[in-house]
Chain A
Amino acid sequence: MGTYFKNIWEGIWTVLVGMKITWSHLFTPAVTIQYPDVKLKLPERARNRLYVNMDDCIGCDQCAMACPVDCITIETLKSTPDVDLGLTSVGTKKRLYVPRFDIDIAKCCYCGLCVPPCPTECIKMTDVYEFSEYERNNLIYRYATMTPAEIDAAKTKLAAYEKEQAEKKAAAPPKPAAPAPARVPVGAKPAGVPAAKPVSSPAPAPVDPPENPENKS
């Protein structure tokens, strides 16, 4: 009987204690942040939307290689020697056109791994986090600044230049072959003797690989 009344008394008393607590919270200022109206300041170095400063991009593809989810797609186009693409803000000479630099931000996992490899610090994570879209394709950000016409012009120019170079090479084969023996010790002997022979001959075949980088660039 004693515990019965004690339980009732404790029941009433604890209800009153609870009511006192909730009453005091009724007048405690709310902790809610009314998001679209009030926005919290993001911490320094918060990782949100990626931004690429195309003026500084040298098309090195390092960020695309670092990306764990492959959300960056870069295409580059060689420039001809007569074109000056300018310098980046850190003084690197730009040698490549970048006709395509796409970031599929829907795939991005905001890891920030693409930022440190960039030699010119042109890719970075900003504090912009409101970029929802109604179309999924709108989330593919195209940072390339070249217009299709410019790309076409660059392509035809490059093709013409390469053709010219190939013709030049075909016309004057000894020229590229001459320094080859000096740089390539192996196979120098066979290369040096039949120097007059054009590239098509099977003999200088071992010499070809070291020559290749020079031909291509």
Chain B
Amino acid sequence: MKEFLIDILQNEILVYVLMAAVPLVWIIPFALFAVWWERKISAHMQDRLGPMRTGGWHGWAQTIADILKLIQKEDIIPAAADRKLFNLAPYVVFVGSFAAYAAIPFSAAYVGSEINIGLFYILAVSSFVVVGLLMAGWASNNKWSLFGAMRAAAQIVSYEIPVALSLLAVVMIVGTFDLQEINRAQSGYFWNWFVFQKFPLLFVAATIYFVASLAEVNRTPFDIPEAESELVAGYHTEYGGMKFALLFLAEYANMFAVSAIAATVFFGGWNSPFGDFMSGPVWGLFWFISKGMAFIFVHMWLRWTLPRLRVDQLMYVGWKVLIPFSFVIVLGVGFWVMLAR
């Protein structure tokens, strides 16, 4: 796609700006859709209807109306807050989650930056979000915000380890961090996807990745940083209007980023499940997004199924269950790869 755009536009800088804008163009409609979708799913799981009036058909325009309201809202900064950090934090959070999109391969033809350390880069840059969350919590000068931020930091730092280790299992098989290479290694039919390879090791790795990524994006049952019933709203208690919208947008962007990595690393990314049937760059985009959305759906499904974990239970799951298991899997896959060579 890059070469093609350079060919027709004859301007490299413009092409880079365009390439960078593609994920942004995706994130905003996705977040609007996902918020609406989540409200509908939560409603139907509780035998309700959810938004039904705005826009006519099943309230499809509800989130558009919401974002228009948020844009118009007054920008309030608490008197006791640290103004500079308070204003900066939502941007840091959003930049952290947006930066991860640079290396996510949307299709065989499009990836923001085809670097050979793509997966490594994503893991590294998504930790940037924690800095933003801590910043938001600290700058708000509010005990609930600070509690939320501290919990978020503790949680994300703990769960980054099983995330990295479970992805490492795949990296050992492919031998590269390049996400496009990982995609190409899974081409063909769906049984070539890594989730079904080296059974059951990589299946367990995919489960561990999914659970840990759920914790990394602060979704239920790991939503203790937000914990409405305990901490008002956690680190974004004091935010309103556009800044709140930005934090919310970053949250949904993160959700899609981790789902996209799960889809890419374990579920074949942009590969069609049926070999050459419905494959190609455009179908690739379709498959990639559908797989991502399927994971988003599971995120929402779990959110409306499970209660929130206690902090000690969260740490138990992270340190005593996910990390030992992912070590065992890394070890097992390592031996398997070595012996099978």
**Interface on A for B, CB 8 Å cutoff?**
4, 8, 15, 18-19, 21-23, 25-32, 34
Contact = CB atoms under 8 A, between A and B. Distances in A.
A26 B44 contact: yes
Contacts of B196: none
B47 A30 contact: yes
Contacts of A18: 305-306
Contacts of B6: none
Interface in B294-315: 301-302, 304-306
Contact of B301 (A4, A19, A27, A34): A19
Contacts, number: 39
Given A18-B306, A30-B49, A34-B49, A25 B301 contact: no
Contacts of B43: 30
18 contacts: A4-B320, A8-B321, A15-B305, A15-B306, A18-B305, A18-B306, A22-B45, A22-B304, A25-B46, A25-B47, A26-B45, A30-B44, A30-B48, A30-B49, A32-B47, A32-B48, A34-B49, A34-B52
B41 interface: yes
Interface string B51-68: 010000000000000000
B305 A21 contact: yes
Contacts of A27: 44
Contact of B44 (A15, A25, A34): A25
A15 B304 CA distance: 11
B125 to A, nearest CB: 30
A30 B301 CA distance: 17
Contacts of B41: 26
B305 A31 contact: no
A4 B324 CA distance: 12
Given A19-B301, A23-B301, A32 B49 contact: yes
Contacts of A29: 47
Nearest to A19: B305
7 smallest CB-CB distances across A and B, nearest first, come from: A32-B49, A18-B305, A22-B305, A30-B49, A22-B45, A26-B44, A25-B45
Nearest to A32: B49
B237 to A, nearest CB: 28
Nearest to B303: A22
Contacts of A8: 321
Interface in B119-174: none
A19 B49 contact: no
Contacts of B46: 25
Interface string B21-59: 000000000000000000001011111110010000000
Nearest to B320: A4
Contacts of A25: 44-47
Nearest to A12: B207
A110 B316 CA distance: 56
A21 B49 CA distance: 18
